[in-house]
Amino acid sequence: MMKRASWKEYQKQIAEDNYYYGRSCIRQNFFPGSEKLFIDMLHNDLGKDLLDDPMHSSCTGIGYHSDIVPLETIMTVVARQFALMTEAGYENFVTSCITSFGVYSEILATWHEFPETEEKARENLSWSWWNAKSSATWLPSGEPRWLPFPLKRP
């Protein structure tokens, strides 16, 4: 009984469709064709709507974990990905890369714990094509999850 009660904390509702795909910078190099296969499986085999946005860039997770890309920079990159997702009309973010999953999860947790860091990421984006000062919601409705677990917030 104790195990079940503690496990409830980790139970999440999985979004059923309409995914915005976050590509990996390195996964494709180790496993050629893996991202294409993932996209094809969702589109063709499962009939899901998944946007592989040509404007999207990788999360720079390898650079971050190698102490090359500063935290503030990666937060701005993640904010840009979420802004692109929102502009495209999607709410469910999904990635098939464990490094990306870690980065997006860490950034979302940091923004939750320290809201001023999210505001700084918005400010960093404000000079660009997207008005980061807008009141529009630009965070995903689900937490990013490593394949195959895109989640929808309750």
What counts of helices (H) and strands (E) characterise the chain?
Answer: 7, 5
pLDDT in tens, 3-27: 667 777 767 677 788 899 988 877 7
Number of domains in the chain: 1
Q: If you ran DSSP here, which 8-state letter would residue 69 be given?
A: S
pTM of the model: 0.76
What's the whole-number mean pLDDT along residues 82-86? Answer: 85
Residue with tokens 């098939």: 96
Q: Which of 26, 25, 47, 28 is nearest to 37 (CA)?
A: 28
Residue 144 forms part of a structural domain: yes
**Residue 116 reports pLDDT greater than 50:** yes
What the block records as the tokens of 109 is 């947790």
Q: Domain range spanning residue 24? A: 18-152
Q: What is the CATH number of the domain that holds 26?
A: 1.20.1050.140
